[in-house]
Amino acid sequence: MTAGTRDERDGRHEWQEWRGWRAAAQDALYAPGGFYRRAEGPAGHFRTSVHASPLFAGAVARLLCRVDEALGRPAELDFVDMAAGRGELTGGVLAALPADVAARTRAYAVEIAGPPAGLDHRIEWLDAPPEGATGLLFANEWLDNVPVEVVEVDAEGVARLVMVRQDGTERLGEPVDGAPARWLERWWPLPGEQGLRAEIGLPRDEAWAGAVGTLRRGLAVAVDYAHTAGARPPFGTLTGFREGRETAPVPDGSCDITAHVALDACALPGGRLLPQREALRALDVTGARPPLSLASTDPAAYVRALASAGEAAELTAAGGLGDFGWLVQPVGVPGPFPG
Ligand SMILES: C[S@@+](CC[C@H](N)C(=O)[O-])C[C@H]1O[C@@H](n2cnc3c(N)ncnc32)[C@H](O)[C@@H]1O
């Protein structure tokens, strides 16, 4: 009898395998037992705008109301929280809607992971967006978690796929060709300088087009860490997050694996990109401090308003969440933002 290697005994035959980052991250994040399948949920490892403040859900609720108006106040209005985590945004939006709009709203949380215990009965939990929705599809920090291939320029100036083992060790593989090579050429051309890196956003473009394609009428919004042509990061942005800290990306299921999104490449005709700072200001999230006089007339209200101003400042901060990109994609309605 042979005892087998430790990995064979653990059923982890893939340990020694070299794979592209896309397949490695797909398994590490979404296979059974993967990072996003576990009970603690994304909030256990990092803070998105949704966790930073209820002001964010309030702004999304106001956006849903604008979409409702643009649609002529339909009898049934859909809110699709795409990549919903534990449904925190879905619940926050329902809580912030005016009663007459809430009564007409069908709320969907779309998530690969299962629903949390005690989910609000008004929220329908799905593993794919509903077909033919009329309303708002909102994807906060989804696309950065859609796995992509990483490429690196070798000593001869050739862009090659980066292969990775489950322990995070990398080596270069085959030259990039076909549709991924065409995507690079169009969206992220690499000068032939050794060591430069890029992430091939094609699976994100396709994922976004698929999600937008489920809307019959309304608005789709993707919010993410973003970069655009002319300002791509020269070495890419692939990174890991574990328990609130940035870490090396290791595709073993122990950490989040994320890379900023080429949101300009995702945009479909009619789509518009704007920074979160601008989008939230247009949705009445301002970091204005309350007047000092309120402190003496109503101290409790003053403290609440001050806390709220601090949260608004975090959501709109330069060098932080305020720099996130909003890709706003109207489907059969006018765009909701002026300018
Ligand atoms: C960074 S978390 C964001 C969670 C939430 N939107 C927020 O802002 O707090 C990304 C989430 O996307 C989910 N996800 C990734 N791909 C998905 C897909 N194709 N369909 C549904 N959910 C997906 C992951 O399981 C994970 O919960």
Token pair 């035959």: residue = 13
CA of 84 to the centre of ligand 1 (A): 5
Q: How far apart are alpha carbons 155 and 146 in whole angstroms?
A: 29
Per-residue pLDDT for 14 more than 60? no
Model confidence band, residue 8 (pLDDT cutoffs 50, 70, 90): very low
CA-nearest residue for atom 23, ligand 1, is 83
Does residue 145 line the site of ligand 1, with CB under 6 A? yes
Does residue 50 line the site of ligand 1, with CB under 6 A? yes
CA of 106 to the centre of ligand 1 (A): 20
Task: State the pLDDT at residue 338.
Answer: 79
- Taking only the tens place, the pLDDT of each residue in 24-76 is 999 999 999 899 987 666 666 678 999 999 999 999 999 999 999 999 999 99
Does residue 142 line the site of ligand 1, with CB under 6 A? yes
Tally Cβ neighbours within 10 Å of residue 194: 11
The predicted model scores a pTM of 0.94
- Taking only the tens place, the pLDDT of each residue in 152-209 is 999 999 999 999 999 999 999 999 999 999 999 999 999 989 999 999 999 999 999 9
- Of 5-9, 62-66, 266-270, the poorest mean pLDDT is in 5-9
Nearest alpha carbon to residue 262 among 112, 176, 149 = 149
Residue type, 105: T
CA of 238 to the centre of ligand 1 (A): 17
Q: In what order do the strands lie in the sheet with 123-126?
A: 123-126, 105-110, 77-82, 133-140, 215-224, 325-331, 272-275
- Taking only the tens place, the pLDDT of each residue in 121-147 is 999 999 999 999 999 999 999 999 999
User: Which of 35, 40, 56, 112 to probe ligand 1 with, by most ligand atoms within 8 A of CB?
Assistant: 112
CA of 95 to the centre of ligand 1 (A): 21
Q: Which atom of ligand 1 is nearest to the CA of 139?
A: 6
- 79: CB partners within 8 A, 6+ apart: 64, 90, 93, 94, 105, 106, 107, 108, 135, 136, 138
- 330: CB partners within 8 A, 6+ apart: 218, 219, 270, 336
Q: Which residues pair with 37 in a beta bridge?
A: none
- Taking only the tens place, the pLDDT of each residue in 198-251 is 999 999 999 999 999 999 999 999 999 999 999 999 999 999 998 888 999 999
- 108: CB partners within 8 A, 6+ apart: 78, 79, 80, 81, 90, 123, 124, 125, 126, 129, 130, 133
Does residue 83 line the site of ligand 1, with CB under 6 A? yes
Whole-number average pLDDT of the chain: 93
Q: How far apart are alpha carbons 251 and 169 in whole angstroms?
A: 10
CA-nearest residue for atom 1, ligand 1, is 141
Task: State the pLDDT at residue 39.
Answer: 62
CA of 274 to the centre of ligand 1 (A): 21
Q: Which DSSP letter does residue 226 get?
A: B
Task: Answer yes or no: are the C-beta atoms of 188 and 227 closer than 8 Å.
Answer: no
Q: How far apart are alpha carbons 313 and 46 in whole angstroms?
A: 19
